[in-house]
Amino acid sequence: MSVHDRAGTRARPEDLVNVPALLAAYAEDHPDPSVAAQRVAFGTSGHRGSSLTTTFNDDHIAATSQAICEYREEQGTDGPLYLGRDSHALSEPAWRTATEVFAANGVQVLVDAGGRFTPTPAVSHAILATNRGRSSRLADGVVVTPSHNPPADGGFKYNPPDGGPAGTDATTWIANRANELLEAELHGVRRVPFEAVSADVGHYDFLDAYVSELDQVLDMDAIRAAGVRIGADPLGGASVDYWAAIAERYSLDLTVTNPETDPAFSFMTLDWDGKIRMDCSSPYAMASLVEIMRGGAEARSAGAPLAAPYRIATGNDADSDRHGIVTADGGLMNPNHFLAVAIDYLYRNRSGWPAGAAVGKTVVSSTMIDRVTADLGRELYEVPVGFKWFVPGLRSGDLAFGGEESAGASFLRLDGTPWSTDKDGIILALLASEITAVTGRTPSEHYAELTARHGEPAYARTDVACSAEDKQRLGKLDAGAVTATELAGEPITAKLTSAPGNGAAIGGLKVQTASGWFAARPSGTEDVYKVYAESFLGPEHLARIQDEARDVVAGALGGAKAGV
């Protein structure tokens, strides 16, 4: 991975998206449904694109909203629909489009009572709260967000009555119907002007409903009593008002380090590739917060003491479903490291959780989680990439925690009942402070203890160029196509194309040995496949795994092509 020479530095005017042009293109440009890239397509978190590339325009959102209305009717979902949005420029017009279509279809739409941005976890929380104890008039929701994606992007995701990201059956149905409507030039889309329906749209106080119950999922008293100094950076996203409200309600020593919002995200530092991206797990996107925790450049140049202003600092992406943890002693934590610490702490300190509740992880998350889970005496539930796979378990209590290596996770309330069934970056960020308050040690210090007990893994993700045809073959690969018997000097112990936890296809390949593994998955947007790899024998062994992974994949794809 080649790192841009300005990665980690503040964005310049020439780096910023032209917001007026973005909004004009949303309203004026129309997709050609005969072009595959311009059709509605749901990935792991909804439909995403940009109006500038005719992949996220008014037509897309009108068609998708109508499709959701028809899907709701088919499923018998007739309760309120919670509609939230984040701070991306395209979120506001898409939110208006959706409101027009939902209202015209007679859907009871509930939007934020204060006109605020709405984090994804607040929508999931609202759906579950409404549906608790109900068997009819069930609620669902839509969040208008492309998550951590660049400012030119828009996103639109549907959460059914289970509160989590919609499963493949739902998203396939919705996308297919939306594309039929695009092909019909939107004939069949019901819509009324926003001005005609805005007064009839219902309101819901997402912020109060969410913030007021945080003490049911976290030990807020412990954080307050310990006086943990917290710095929270919303990265210009939907959690901006939430952090100030959390500080006030629970009397925490918490500072919002950057309360600014701007649809161009001009305050951001550039990510690894020179793009603006609100990725709170990236040291480049989080450079400003990391700099604050290092005492600041001015203090260092003046020879002042390099005392960190906070014990714990946190970041969230634009819709607040991801978390970034910065500690005074360790800097920005690798997401895998914090997930392992969170699991170890939570399962040892949540007496109200079901005794048999398993630990949920994705196939590309660190094996440190496997070792921690075994040490806890818990069952591991390993699933393909995508938080949707954790939803049933979190609802039933069969899972107490579900997490992804991309810094997304959620867990049960203190009493073992569901909190959210979508990723919740806010509670994970606050958990870092609870861990520090209760144990007297930061998550970084806890991770050092875990490595002393279980070994220290080296983990990396890289991209490998490949053809579109090879991407397709990799996504449908059979494990039998892998002929290799060794990887980086060790016998191969498992060749997986389906997840051990639920048997679902992983959309790629995972190869394991006693000390390491790699997983290869095709990218959804580029002609590359992603290689995730890890070794408990150190960086040199990891490099060998990465190098040999290319040969293993090439051999398997060659066999698949030949029909082996």
- pLDDT-derived band at 559, boundaries 50, 70, 90: low
| One-letter amino acid of 549 | A
**177-229 pLDDT, tens digit each:** 999 999 999 999 999 999 998 777 999 999 999 999 999 999 999 999 999 99
494-503 per-position pLDDT tens digit = 999 999 999 9
Tokens 């959309």 locate to: 507
553 & 405 share domain = no
19 in any annotated domain: no
DSSP per-residue letters across 189-257 = -----HHHHGGG-EEE-HHHHHHTTGGGTS-HHHHHHHT--EEEE-TTSTTHHHHHHHHHHHT--EEES
Q: Name the pairing type of β-strands 202-204 and 140-144.
A: unpaired
Tens digit of each residue's pLDDT (9 = 90 or more) over 25-48: 999 999 999 999 999 999 877 899
Copy the structure tokens of residue 234: 């919303």
Using pLDDT thresholds of 50, 70 and 90, give the confidence band for residue 2.
Answer: confident
Whether residue 293 has pLDDT greater than 50? yes
- First-to-last alpha carbon distance for the chain, in angstroms, is 32
User: pLDDT at position 389, please?
Assistant: 97
Which range is least confidently modeled, 18-27, 335-344, 523-532? 523-532
Alpha helices in 276-390 (DSSP H): 287-293, 297-301, 335-349, 368-376
Domain boundary among the residues 411, 433, 454 is at 454
Question: Which of residues 431, 454, 477 is at a domain's end?
Answer: 454
417, burial (CB in 10 Å: exposed 0-12, middle 13-18, buried 19+): middle
Per-residue model confidence (pLDDT) at position 43: 82
Whether residue 274 is contained in a domain is answered as yes
User: Does 11 fall in a domain?
Assistant: no
Question: Percentage of the chain surpassing pLDDT 90?
Answer: 92
In the block, tokens 């293993």 appear at 552
Tell me what the mean pLDDT of segment 479-507 comes to: 95
- 18 falls within a domain: no
pLDDT tens for 120-135 read 999 999 999 999 999 9
pLDDT (tens digit, 9 = 90+) per residue, 222-269? 999 999 999 999 999 999 999 999 999 999 999 999 999 999 999 999
95 in the same domain as 135: yes
Average pLDDT over the chain, rounded to an integer: 95
- Do both 297 and 442 map to the same domain? yes
Say what the pLDDT of residue 299 is. Answer: 45
Residue among 51, 65, 91, 147 flagged as catalytic = 147
pLDDT value, residue 300? 44
Q: What is the DSSP string of 48-64?
A: EEEGGGTSS-HHHHHHH
Give the chain's count of helices (H) and strands (E). 18, 23
Are residues 434 and 464 part of one domain? no
Q: How many CB atoms lie within 10 A of CB 526?
A: 12
- Tell me if 22 is assigned to some domain: no
For 388-444, the pLDDT digits (tens) are 999 999 999 999 999 999 999 999 999 999 999 999 999 999 999 999 999 999 999
For residue 241, give the 3-state DSSP assignment.
helix
Computed over its alpha carbons, how large is the radius of gyration of the chain? 23
Instruction: Examine the pLDDT at 563 and tell me if it is beyond 80.
Output: no
Are 449 and 487 contained in the same domain? no
pLDDT of residue 45: 73
Residue type, 53: T
* CATH number of domain containing 309: 3.40.120.10
Range of the domain at 116: 31-208
217 and 203 co-located in one domain: no
- Domain match, 223 and 203 both: no
Is 275 within a domain? yes
Q: Are residues 199 and 81 in the same domain?
A: yes
CA-to-CA distance for 372 and 446, rounded, in angstroms?
12
- Helices marked H in 110-167: 120-131
Within-domain flag for 421:
yes
What is the model's pLDDT at position 561? 53
pLDDT at 525: 66
pLDDT recorded at residue 528: 87
**CATH number of the domain within which 486 lies:** 3.30.310.50
Please confirm, yes or no, whether 147 is among the known catalytic residues: yes
Mean pLDDT of 297-315: 69
Regarding whether 462 and 446 lie in a shared domain, the answer is: no
Least confident of 3-7, 13-17, 268-272, 556-560: 556-560
C-alpha 153: how far from its chain's center?
16
Same domain? 261 vs 360: yes
C-alpha span between 301 and 304 (Å, rounded):
8
**Number of residues written out for the chain:** 564
- Residue 485 burial by Cβ neighbours in a 10 Å radius (0-12, 13-18, 19+): exposed
H-helix or E-strand spanning residue 438? helix 425-439
CA-based torsion, 213, 217, 220, 221: positive or negative: positive
Q: How far apart are CA 122 and CA 84, in angstroms?
A: 9
Split into its structural domains, the chain has a count of 3
Does this model's pTM top 0.85? yes
- Is the CB of residue 33 less than 8 Å from the CB of residue 176? no
Distance CA 563, CA 444 (A): 48
Position 139 in a domain = yes
8 Å CB contact between 513 and 491:
yes
Q: Nearest Cα to 223, choosing from 430, 465, 12, 14?
A: 430
Same domain, 301 and 424: yes
Are residues 250 and 315 located together in one domain of the fold?
yes
pLDDT tens digit string along 147-162?
999 999 999 999 999 9
Last residue of a domain, one of 394, 422, 454: 454
